[in-house]
A and B are shown apart, each in its own frame.
Chain A
Amino acid sequence: MDRILVDFIKALRGNGVRIATSETLDAIHAVDLVGYRERSRLKSALSATLAKSEEEKARFNTCFDQFFQFNDLQTLAQPPAPQAPPGNRLQQMLNGAQPAAEQAQSPLGQMLMAGDSEAIAAAMAQAASAAKVRDIRVITQKGLYGRRMMMAMGLEAMEQEMWAAEAATDAQQQALGDALRKARELLREEVKHYVERQYLLQASGDSRALRESVMRETSLENLREFKDVQGLVRKLAKRLVATHSRRRKIYQRGKLDVRRTIRHNIPYSGVLLETRWKAKRVDKPKVMAICDVSGSVSQYSRFLLMFLYSLTEVIANVRAFAFSSDLQEVTQWFLRENLDTAIELTLKEVGGGSTDYGRSLDTFTHQCLQQVDHRTTVIVLGDARNNYGDPRTELLQAIHNRARQLIWLNPESRLRWGSGDSEMKRYKPHCSWAEPCQSLNQLERFISNLLRYSQ
């Protein structure tokens, strides 16, 4: 029985519930105590040992419901008597089906006719492991595995018998043939469901992991094509929040904590040998993001903004500015609207002009330079392609001088910096650091660094 549990745990892991070996052992102990017989008990016992957060509980519940479906087999066991309209030929045939159980010769036929649900369930589980259904990976394999499973259950013998019975002239034999055919259809349905469930459990987790890893490497420009990219960004952001909100240290500097110092030095009869300092809460960084939203760069800005606004728990406050030909603050949209609408609004209102870095920097300097202080991190996202206009590098330098750090993210790779109308080479000396930012992976790494170094 442990085999089932291990398979279940594998399925859970595939669905994003993290389970350690020690937890598996706990689950086995728990199942020893509780047993498999009562579904609701098994569920709460496994839930307590395996799923360790509200989110994981939800995943666990769907997974459990798919995996342990004890009840379906009841329907298989009782051929669809209720469906048949009373009084017609079918009904009579079904009435005759019980004695037919003894007549059926093939083991599978007998089992199906007898309607022994537990035996059928056991046979199905056995056949599934013989056919290695748990190895199913791709959706197109469903038919193949279903067929294999039915074969393993002894379909061949039963079909032979069915054909023979149908060919016979004897009415009772024909009734048997009919009954067998119906039973076969039912079994086929049931096996199909079973394989489908296995596919959902085993493969969907894997394929999701695969898709996520692809998504993380894809260029941000094409990423919109993927459906659940927002979900992924949220997931990455959540992980960043988890790691960085935890970092709270007591440093050996700052304010002396007199009370704790005296308390701590009582063993030295009051001589202050060891000092205690007031725990210093780490400052959350203040971020100003200046995003180019013209043409192709807009897609990159979309993801940067999406990320920054998913991080409100670890970033004190984010102000967003967007520019193409001129700059405009867009923070208020992000505060009021949901993320998608805000981004769409930004692209619509501000995007579309020809890029003018000089003018945009000028506007920024006039509007906000006063508010840039030593705690502010300024992020510029853009390709620095200025259409051969005046780059106004001195303005960037002024911002750099006031800010804690100025970071430039460029969606182009380093090789292309400075080629054509790119002013990247001239802007770069005035940045604390400049980095290419092409995929979600790079973006995540950048933000992680941002949180680490700005604290």
Chain B
Amino acid sequence: MSTQFSVEQIKSGFAQSGYICNDSIAMTMFLAYQLEKPVLVEGPPGVGKTELAKATAQFLNYELIRLQCYEGLDEAKALYEWKYGKQLLYTQVLKDKLGDLLKGAHGLAESIDRLHEFGDIFYSEQFLEPRPLLQALQAQRGTVLLIDEIDKADNEFESFLLEMLSDYQISIPEIGTIKARRHPIVFLTSNNTRELSDALKRRCLHLFIPFPDSALERDIIQTRVPGINEKLRAQLVGFVQEIRKLDLKKQPAISETIDWARTLLLLHAEALTPEMVETTLNVLLKHEDDINNVKDDMRTLFNKLFKR
């Protein structure tokens, strides 16, 4: 790859595109770029795994190609498919031509020979419908390939990815091996619903994004919700950090904190009050039980946080 970036450049570049990250994320990106290795990103939902890929694409000014995984995802959806409609249409249109071609041929063997001269016309690249993986390999410019929620896909698909991840190439039976024109930057994200295979992990750099600490979260809120005043920001981040320590079904992630900050901004809140929190808690927590739990603990939480 042509340009070199330092870890600081990556960090500030990400910050410009609105993605605030810590050193270990920036370092992993640096290594991924330098070593040309895919990155497996794990962490609880909503900490910005997918955002990281978007930020990288924006930072490098690359195209982002996204492949959302789900159960039953197969090669036809991920890699390539033949354009069956086009193939059928062309054979129908060319039916008449067939007579011209075979004119003067004697016997079956000669006719077949003549047909062979045209090779595998119907199985050439013109009839190939590239899907995300192939698009990423064929792209002229650099691309960022995001394979989202790989843990949702089947085992078979995971094994199928191995060739792509280690050599940046893919084998298509009818055409042969297709090598990447330029190595894409590959992100795989996982929510850990199942253990990924060792073979896959071995080929990737591994990045675990935990919930952010309060300083980082304050920075994130500042960039994403710029209109919010400093006092409220500190308060709401403190509150969210405190909530994460409770025993909840689903802990509020960064995206929820951002949503909450936006909500409070819309309501023209100046500072957190228990009433305000109570009415907007459903933005932050997504389970009835969790909401009730926090409501019960509200007073102790507030005492702990703001009684100084």
Choose, from A21-29, A304-312, A396-404, the stretch at the interface. A21-29
Q: Interface centre among B28, B76, B208, by most A CB within 10 Å?
A: B208
Choose, from A41-49, A146-154, A327-335, A351-359, the stretch at the interface. A41-49
Q: Cβ of B40 and Cβ of A40 under 8 Å apart?
A: no
Q: Cβ of A30 and Cβ of B31 under 8 Å apart?
A: yes
Question: A246 on the interface (CB 8 Å rule)?
Answer: yes
Partner of A45, one of B27, B155, B198: B27
Which chain A residues (182-203) contact chain B, with CB distance < 8 Å? none
Question: B34 on the interface (CB 8 Å rule)?
Answer: yes
Which chain A residues (35-60) contact chain B, with CB distance < 8 Å? 40-41, 43-45, 47-49, 51-54, 57
Q: Cβ of A44 and Cβ of B154 under 8 Å apart?
A: no
Cα separation A40 to B27 with both chains bound (whole Å): 10
Question: B234 on the interface (CB 8 Å rule)?
Answer: no
Cα separation A109 to B297 with both chains bound (whole Å): 63
Q: Cβ of B155 and Cβ of A48 under 8 Å apart?
A: no
Contact with B along A262-300 (1 / 0, CB 8 A): 010011010000000001000000000000000000000
Partner of A48, one of B24, B72, B84: B24
Minimum C-beta distance from B246 to chain A (A): 20
Query: Contacts A47-B24, A246-B194: A41 and B7 contacting too (C-beta < 8 A)?
Result: yes
Q: Cβ of B82 and Cβ of A267 under 8 Å apart?
A: yes
Cα separation A227 to B82 with both chains bound (whole Å): 61
Cα separation A248 to B274 with both chains bound (whole Å): 49
Residues of B within 8 Å of A51, CB to CB, are 206
Q: Cβ of A54 and Cβ of B208 under 8 Å apart?
A: yes
Query: Contacts A41-B7, A248-B154: A52 and B206 contacting too (C-beta < 8 A)?
Result: yes
Residues of A within 8 Å of B154, CB to CB, are 248
Question: B100 on the interface (CB 8 Å rule)?
Answer: no
Residues of A within 8 Å of B76, CB to CB, are 263
Question: B195 on the interface (CB 8 Å rule)?
Answer: yes
Cα separation A22 to B198 with both chains bound (whole Å): 12
B72 nearest CB neighbor, chain A only: A279
Partner of B31, one of A45, A267, A269: A45
Question: A210 on the interface (CB 8 Å rule)?
Answer: no
Minimum C-beta distance from A241 to chain B (A): 8
B7 nearest CB neighbor, chain A only: A41
Question: A33 on the interface (CB 8 Å rule)?
Answer: yes
Q: Cβ of A52 and Cβ of B31 under 8 Å apart?
A: no
Q: Cβ of B84 and Cβ of A266 under 8 Å apart?
A: yes
Q: Cβ of B27 and Cβ of A54 under 8 Å apart?
A: no
Cα separation A57 to B31 with both chains bound (whole Å): 17
Residues of A within 8 Å of B40, CB to CB, are 52
Question: A242 on the interface (CB 8 Å rule)?
Answer: yes
Q: Cβ of B31 and Cβ of A49 under 8 Å apart?
A: yes
Question: B35 on the interface (CB 8 Å rule)?
Answer: yes
Cα separation A48 to B42 with both chains bound (whole Å): 12
Query: Contacts A41-B27, A48-B28, A248-B154: A26 and B205 contacting too (C-beta < 8 A)?
Result: yes
Question: B202 on the interface (CB 8 Å rule)?
Answer: yes
Cα separation A43 to B24 with both chains bound (whole Å): 8
B200 nearest CB neighbor, chain A only: A52
Q: Cβ of A26 and Cβ of B35 under 8 Å apart?
A: yes
Query: Contacts A44-B23, A54-B42, A242-B195: A49 and B205 contacting too (C-beta < 8 A)?
Result: yes
Q: Cβ of B155 and Cβ of A52 under 8 Å apart?
A: no
Partner of B198, one of A18, A29, A40, A43: A18
B158 nearest CB neighbor, chain A only: A246
Contact with B along A39-83 (1 / 0, CB 8 A): 011011101110111100100000000000000000000000000
Question: B88 on the interface (CB 8 Å rule)?
Answer: yes
Partner of B155, one of A20, A43, A54, A248: A248
Residues of A within 8 Å of B30, CB to CB, are 33
Cα separation A53 to B205 with both chains bound (whole Å): 11
Contact with A along B276-287 (1 / 0, CB 8 A): 000000000000
Question: A95 on the interface (CB 8 Å rule)?
Answer: no
Contact with A along B69-104 (1 / 0, CB 8 A): 001100010000010100110000000000000000
Query: Contacts A41-B7, A53-B42, A54-B42: A48 and B34 contacting too (C-beta < 8 A)?
Result: no
Minimum C-beta distance from B41 to chain A (A): 11
Minimum C-beta distance from B303 to chain A (A): 31
Which chain A residues (230-274) contact chain B, with CB distance < 8 Å? 242, 245-246, 248, 263, 266-267, 269
Q: Cβ of A267 and Cβ of B207 under 8 Å apart?
A: no
Q: Cβ of A29 and Cβ of B206 under 8 Å apart?
A: no
Q: Cβ of B194 and Cβ of A48 under 8 Å apart?
A: no
Question: B201 on the interface (CB 8 Å rule)?
Answer: yes
A33 nearest CB neighbor, chain B only: B34
A266 nearest CB neighbor, chain B only: B84
A-B contacts, 15 of them at CB < 8 A, read A26-B37, A29-B35, A34-B27, A41-B23, A48-B24, A48-B27, A48-B206, A52-B198, A53-B206, A57-B206, A245-B194, A266-B84, A267-B82, A267-B84, A269-B88
Chain A residues close to B by CB (< 8 Å): 18, 20, 22-23, 26, 29-30, 33-34, 40-41, 43-45, 47-49, 51-54, 57, 242, 245-246, 248, 263, 266-267, 269, 279
